[in-house]
Amino acid sequence: MSITYEWHVDNTTREASTGKIVEVLYSVKGTDGVYSASANGSIVLDGEVTIPYSDVTENLCLEWTLDAVTKSVEVKNEDGEQLPFGEARTQVLKSIEERIATAITEQAAPSFATGLPWSNA
């Protein structure tokens, strides 16, 4: 079964005087229709305010967030060279979604179980 992912901005922090968004709290939820898992994080944004706060949409904020997350890590190829930004962004997204997929797989077929062998409850 394939997994679908949903990215959301859960909250932002902005400078009150300018409306500049300086931090984004985000989450990613994956589901295969039966099991689900999620990841969340926060990222500090830097840069100039280019549009009024009231014009910022969730999609635009997610674009800024994904750009900032990508810039915050080094993504290299097999030769140790930094990947171009677009490829690095794809790898960062893939890495986050793979962690969620692993958690869903673990729910569907657990590697470990708990309990007491002498208890039937």
Residue 47 · residue 21 · CB < 8 Å: no
At 50, list the tokens: 């280019």
Q: What is the C-alpha separation between 118 and 11, in angstroms, rounded?
A: 48
Give the pLDDT confidence score for residue 51 in this predicted structure: 85
- Number of domains present in the structure of the chain: 1
Q: Which residue has the tokens 């171009």?
A: 84
Give the pLDDT confidence score for residue 75 in this predicted structure: 81
Phi/psi of residue 74, nearest 5 degrees: -95, 125
Q: What is the mean pLDDT of each run of 10 residues along the chain (121 residues)?
A: 93 92 95 96 84 92 90 83 85 92 94 88 57
The answer to whether position 25 is within a domain reads yes
Give the pLDDT confidence score for residue 58 in this predicted structure: 96
The answer to whether position 119 is within a domain reads no
Per the structure, the complete domain to which residue 42 belongs is given by: 4-108
Give the pLDDT confidence score for residue 121 in this predicted structure: 57
